Amino acid sequence: MKQGINVGLLGLGTVGTGVISIIEQHQQELKHQVGCSVNVTKVLVRDLDKKRGVTVDNDILTTNPEDVCANPDIDVVIEVRGGVDETKEQLIQALEHKKHVVTANKDLMALHGAELLHLASKNGCDLFYEASVAGGIPILRSLVDGLASDRITKMMGIVNGTTNYILTKMSQEGSSYLDVLAQAQDLGFAESDPTSDVEGLDAARKMAILATLGFSMDVKLDDVSVKGISSVTDRDLHYCEQLGYTMKLIGLAKRDDDRIEVSVGPTLLPNEHPLASVHNEYNAVYVYGEAVGETMFYGPGAGSLPTATAVVSDLVTIMKNMRLGVNGHAVNAPLHEKVLKENKEIDSKYFLRMRVTDKAGTFSAITSLFAEYEVSFEKLLQLPLEGVEEAEVIVITHHTSKENYQELYDRLQALEVVENVESSYRVEGGQ
């Protein structure tokens, strides 16, 4: 083993500065574990003159990616710059130059993970990406190592810190959506374009990665049905609270008889559900294995140091592998062929909020339609709306198939007495 390991960074933003801080501040612990020092020798940035949150020697900064990816003195490339196409090319270059890679980039791994992992193993290199899902929570390692002997049948997670922060502040403090989104951006949780956070895409990418590892199937981003939180209103949150539920952006991956469903969407959870008390930027992933039963992993899903912990821990694993001479063997091809469930096989409960005309016969028209589709009510509220001859009807249904529910939804929307179906969400947990 060499005297020291040389690391090149692509990016020195929120996560990159955390990586430098941990490597500096925990040098003694790192050296103890891997037997040599860790030196950051080159860092790719966009703007050489920008003020940084950490002190770095100016001459290690570069705007030329080749100084990192094709640099013969660098052993490990840490990618914390984000982006997909250009970043992919840079990592391909690094792997072709036999550099091990750590990345925090779920966008890249969800889209091109299989290809990059294959290239890594072809070049005898490690490629780890623990920070890409649920930031500082060691969830990928738990799936591929800690639960390796089990068969995972369900994963349910709060895997986006920004949206959890927004929903928490809106529900608990009545803050406005846009104000809290700006706070999440200031705190460094949100992506540079927060659309991917609030529209559920960031969580969908993470769920594709989790489902691929948990089910050992090649789950693609397109396999995940996605809905974000941008249309969640104060009224929805008000009724959730009134009915004893908490709204969370939930990623769900379920396997029944080797047929899977993967989705992301605002979801109502009973207040006593363990995921309902995961607040702010915290993430949690509930994992059900046939043998182990229920497990839950909780921790900070975003932010500089928590995310950097996962990145540097991947670096430690690479260095331990270097010591043992076993790099490039971490990846297994998926064991199972992926079969997605059809809508008639996807079973759930639903929350519906409708604006209806407030007159005799309205309620019976609605209940007859529910009866026609054999969907029964678990909870029901009807409240007059002030100043108009309208009322609001809020329903929590019992279980039904997605196919049946979608037809019912369309028929409700077309009913004369229904002015509008204002919102509809999945309900998980409970009976």
Ligand X SMILES: NC(=O)C1=CN([C@@H]2O[C@H](COP(=O)(O)OP(=O)(O)OC[C@H]3O[C@@H](n4cnc5c(N)ncnc54)[C@H](OP(=O)(O)O)[C@@H]3O)[C@@H](O)[C@H]2O)C=CC1
Report the run of H or E that residue 8 belongs to, with start and end. strand 4-10
Query: Which residue in the set 113, 135, 194, 228 belongs to the binding site for ligand X (CB under 6 A)?
Result: 135
Binding window for ligand LTNE7NMQ (CB under 6 A); candidates: 137-145, 187-195, 239-247, 393-401: 187-195
Query: CA 303 to CA 310: how far, in whole Å?
Result: 11
3-state secondary structure of 373: coil
**Of 206, 227, 248, 338, which residue is the catalytic one?**
206
> Does residue 191 bind ligand LTNE7NMQ (CB under 6 A)?
yes
Annotate each residue in 182-221 with x if it binds ligand X (CB under 6 A) or - if it does not, as one string: ------xx-xx-----------------------------
> Does residue 161 bind ligand LTNE7NMQ (CB under 6 A)?
yes
> Does residue 314 bind ligand LTNE7NMQ (CB under 6 A)?
no
Question: Is residue 85 packed enough to be buried (19+ CB in 10 Å), middle (13-18) or exposed (0-12)?
Answer: exposed
Report the run of H or E that residue 91 belongs to, with start and end. helix 85-96
- Choose among 334, 296, 364: nearest CA to 146: 296
> Does residue 159 bind Na ion (CB under 5 A)?
no
> Does residue 134 bind Na ion (CB under 5 A)?
yes
Q: What is the dihedral of CA 225, 230, 235, 239, to 10 degrees?
A: 30
Binding window for ligand X (CB under 6 A); candidates: 14-22, 241-249, 343-351, 375-383: 14-22
206 catalytic per annotation: yes
Whichever of 283 and 321 has its CB closer to ligand X, that residue is: 283
Write down the least CB distance from residue 259 to ligand X, Å: 31
Cβ proximity of 65 and 32 under 8 Å: no
Whichever of 282 and 351 has its CB closer to ligand LTNE7NMQ, that residue is: 282
Query: Which residue in the set 107, 202, 236, 392 belongs to the binding site for ligand LTNE7NMQ (CB under 6 A)?
Result: 202
Whichever of 69 and 229 has its CB closer to ligand LTNE7NMQ, that residue is: 229
Site for ligand LTNE7NMQ in 289-308 (CB under 6 A): 301-302
Cβ proximity of 265 and 200 under 8 Å: yes
Eight-state DSSP code of residue 217: S
Residue type, 125: C
Write down the least CB distance from residue 197 to ligand LTNE7NMQ, Å: 5
- Choose among 93, 55, 37, 97: nearest CA to 73: 97
> Does residue 181 bind ligand X (CB under 6 A)?
no
CB atoms within 10 A of CB 319: 24
- Choose among 106, 56, 57, 99: nearest CA to 80: 106
> Does residue 303 bind ligand X (CB under 6 A)?
yes
The encoded tokens of residue 59 equal 């001459």
CA 127 to each of CA 116, 197, 351: distance values in angstroms, whole numbers, following the listed order = 8, 25, 42
Q: Which stretches of the chain bind ligand LTNE7NMQ, using CB under 6 A?
A: 135, 160-162, 189-191, 197, 202, 301-302
Give catalytic residues, as residue numbers. 206
